A and B are shown apart, each in its own frame.
Chain A
Amino acid sequence: MCHSRPNPYLQKHPSEAEETMREIIAECESAGHSHGLAAGLALALAGVDTDAAPGPFAALPATAVPAGTPVLAHPMAAKEGISFVRTRRRHVPAELHTGIAVRLGAARLGTTQRLYERAVEHLSARTSGGEPTVRKQLVQGVLADTHVGLEVARRGLRIAGHAALTDLHDRLTALDWELAKLLGASGYAGEHAVAGAFVSRLAANCWVPRDGAA
């Protein structure tokens, strides 16, 4: 589904700033979808310095970590091309965090979309009780719900404010888990385990502010 095409039935065309933001969102999603979380994160953090993270850690593409910078040991993240570094937190305008949360949300949306496609492929190749697993009603229900969740999240990125973005990231985490479950144990152990979904959650935990958390 296209997410940046102008709608001729809308009375108000998006402003130039809105149009630019939509293009950035689409680019981040595309990078996450086509090339994975690290590529999406690189776009999401373009021009952002590490110390802008709202917490004590920043998630970065491994390739963006300056030489000699201590990196938190996390083999699972390393496999996904993501590194965690300590920050020297500094105050930044809320709009900066909002922008990061939107772009990171788009990158995560791309990886979730990729996981959705992988789940459909996996379920289509398996049979259970003599029937393709993808046709089982319980499975179809999850696929339908996650598909709807993806479409809603994509629209949410356009309009979400600060608090709603935190919720949107939490919903992406929940969608990832619903999809990972469809892969069965193969999504949890072995060469095809979906480590990326968990690392995606950790990246959001580093970059998305949480009002009211103490």
Chain B
Amino acid sequence: MTTTLTSGLRELRGQSGELAAELRSIALDVDADPHNRERLRSSETLELLRVVGTPKPYRAYDVPRWAEQFTETCLGRVVGNIELARGDAGVLNAVAAPSLAGFTVDALGNEAQQEFFYRELAQNRPWTFFGMTEPAHGSDATAMQTRLEPDADGSFRLHGTKRYVANAERGAIGVVFARTGPSALTIRAAVLQRPAPGFTGTTLDMLGLRGACLGEMGFDGVPIAPEMVLGRHLPASKRGLWGANRAFNVVRLQIAAQALGVAYAIHDLVREERPQWTGHEVVSARLHAARELLYDVALEVDHSPDDRRPPSIAKLHTTNLAVETGRWAESVLPPGALLQHPLLEKWCRDVCAFEFMDGTGNILRLMIAPAAAPRREGP
């Protein structure tokens, strides 16, 4: 028995599928030149997603009821992301939405900080950034070296480097994590705006998913006002990384959904190329089963937002499945198919990106594997 979506979520799925067509129409152009801002700004779908991704009180205008469901629950995010990425995940990742920075401000920011962050987004429609990963500590966030040093006047100075940050060069507002002391509990997040003295950003060339525009950000004594440091109103244990765990769970699941969406796109292309062929059935079933898994996990996250295992299971599976689906397509289409179908070639590059976003496969395995046998019940 498959998961039954409500009529509202079914409508979200259908409408997202229609929006996906516009993402698909500019997919190759964005891949070739992801820095063309005018192209991205003129996309009606990206504009709608930008507004939908902004909390309701800060939206510049109302969105259709079906679109609101996109951000109301994790299940809504999963349903929408699968269909949108089925259009093109590279373009989807070019959206100027609050994204991970927004989730972090939601989790760690007080009312004034949320007001400041979202007003800025509503007025100027900036791309956002989220600075966590560092060049030497990709998978080990607790070992980060970026420092938030107090100044004599009560403000702070930010020093360090972040790498593999989406919108590192074009982002105008975002969140950066840094440590104020030696222990992991001293890691804090601050809202940062560009331009700022000592704040630099460059773009890195990517093999795929180029709409994400990953890059490197440098901080050479960037001044940070004390009111821009998040989590001051929270208990010490909730001010930093651990406080943002819920945000990471949602994003991890979104990435899993996008990976599955690209896998579906690849699968669709094969079926169009071989319309009478029934050899797709095993792969079709695997994709449908993965969608069931994601729906179930989304419901779990909606009920238990702090449990990191279910989203990790989902992402580990669908990122691998997407890569495998690309290889399957290559194996069932004639020689030269990857170049004959530029979208297929691009998607085979794109799917590799998900491995490195919000937890590599090995990090997820460590999160999923039990640390010990479960305790026995009873005597």
Stretch binding the partner chain, chosen from B59-67, B243-251, B323-331: B323-331
- Quick one: closest B residue to A97, CB to CB? B335
Bound Cα distance A138, B316 (Å):
14
A53 nearest CB across to chain B (Å): 7
Docked-complex contact B205 and A193, CB < 8 angstroms: yes
Stretch binding the partner chain, chosen from A16-24, A32-40, A147-155, A178-186: A178-186
Docked-complex contact B336 and A55, CB < 8 angstroms: yes
A192 nearest CB across to chain B (Å): 10
Q: Which of A175-201 contact B (CB under 8 A)?
A: 177, 180-181, 184-186, 188-191, 193-195, 198, 201
A14 within 8 A of B: no
Bound Cα distance A207, B331 (Å):
13
B75 nearest CB across to chain A (Å): 29
Bound Cα distance A180, B206 (Å):
14
A117 nearest CB across to chain B (Å): 20
Docked-complex contact A185 and B133, CB < 8 angstroms: yes
Stretch binding the partner chain, chosen from B2-10, B256-264, B298-306, B338-346: B338-346
Counting chain A residues whose Cβ lies within 8 A of the other chain, the interface size class is 35 or more
- A189-B206, A198-B207 as given contacts; A184 in contact with B139, CB under 8 Å: yes
Docked-complex contact A189 and B205, CB < 8 angstroms: yes
Bound Cα distance A213, B143 (Å):
49
Docked-complex contact A54 and B335, CB < 8 angstroms: yes
Docked-complex contact B356 and A185, CB < 8 angstroms: yes
Contacts of B206 in A (CB 8 A): 188-189, 193
Contacts of B336 in A (CB 8 A): 53-57, 205-206
B337 nearest CB across to chain A (Å): 7
Contacts of B234 in A (CB 8 A): none
Bound Cα distance A177, B338 (Å):
17
A62 within 8 A of B: no
Contacts of B48 in A (CB 8 A): none
- A193-B206, A193-B207 as given contacts; A129 in contact with B140, CB under 8 Å: yes
B275 nearest CB across to chain A (Å): 10
Q: Of residues B137, B207, B208, B366, which shows the largest number of chain A Cβ atoms within 10 Å of its Cβ?
A: B207
- Quick one: closest A residue to B136, CB to CB? A126
Contacts of B338 in A (CB 8 A): 201-202, 205
Docked-complex contact B205 and A57, CB < 8 angstroms: no
- A138-B365, A190-B204 as given contacts; A177 in contact with B352, CB under 8 Å: yes
| 14 contacts across the A-B interface (CB closer than 8 A) | A128-B140, A166-B331, A184-B356, A184-B360, A185-B214, A188-B206, A190-B216, A193-B205, A195-B207, A198-B348, A210-B332, A210-B333, A210-B335, A214-B274
Q: 19 more A-B contacts (CB under 8 A) besides A54-B336, A205-B336?
A: A54-B335, A55-B335, A55-B337, A55-B340, A57-B340, A139-B362, A166-B331, A174-B327, A181-B360, A188-B352, A189-B205, A189-B207, A189-B356, A193-B207, A202-B339, A205-B338, A210-B333, A213-B332, A213-B337
Across the A-B interface, the 9 shortest Cβ-Cβ residue pairs: A55-B336, A55-B335, A185-B356, A190-B204, A185-B164, A54-B335, A189-B204, A57-B336, A189-B206
- Using CB atoms and an 8 Å cutoff, list the residues of chain B in contact with chain A: 133, 135-140, 143, 163-164, 204-208, 214, 216, 274, 277, 323, 327, 330-340, 345, 348-349, 352-353, 355-356, 360-362, 365-366
